[in-house]
Amino acid sequence: MTFLLHFIFIAAFLLVYVIAIIILKPFRLHRKRAISTISLKTSYLIYLSAFMLLAYMVLFFSITSEPTEEAAEEKILNMFTIFSVFAFFIPNVGIMIRRNVKTWRVAYNYLFTGINLIIAGGLIYYIADIPWQFK
């Protein structure tokens, strides 16, 4: 039963990723902003893969612990939660409103490329740092 559940979530995440690739068309060249556009789109796809990997790991391999009164662990959990919320919204909003930015589009593309890569790095850090319970 758990194999089927894992398969369904992996298939759903892969479908979302393929749809994102189809919609973004990451390697379609823009005449004026070729490098900045490609870097923005590929950094978004890197972020999306890291975010979906973290979501999959949290869904299936996170350790359920009983509540404790340790303030340090609670602070880390709160920082992780806040970072996860920002990591979900900021890159998605950035990729959606990119066409509305006209005057400083190249700088915008590079800015969000950096933001996407920083957030993807933070997500990969959390994936490496959290103790997972593999079954």
Please choose, from the candidates 47, 41, 48, the residue with its C-alpha nearest in 3D space to the C-alpha of residue 17. 48
Residue 116 in contact with residue 47, Cβ under 8 Å? yes
Q: What is the pLDDT of residue 26?
A: 83
Q: What is the pLDDT of residue 120?
A: 96
Q: What is the pLDDT of residue 109?
A: 92
Bridge partners (DSSP) of residue 62 are 132
- Find tokens 């009983």 and name the residue: 66
Q: What is the pLDDT of residue 2?
A: 83
Q: Concatenated DSSP letters for 72-118?
A: HHHHHHHHHHHHHHHHHHHHHHHHHSGGG--TTHHHHHHHHHHHHHH
Residue 30 identity (one-letter amino acid): H
Q: What is the pLDDT of residue 43?
A: 95
- Divide the 135 residues of the chain into consecutive groups of 10 and give the mean pLDDT of each group: 88 95 85 87 95 91 66 70 90 91 90 96 91 77
C-alpha 25/C-alpha 68 separation (Å) is 47
Q: What is the pLDDT of residue 64?
A: 63
Bridge partners (DSSP) of residue 74 are none
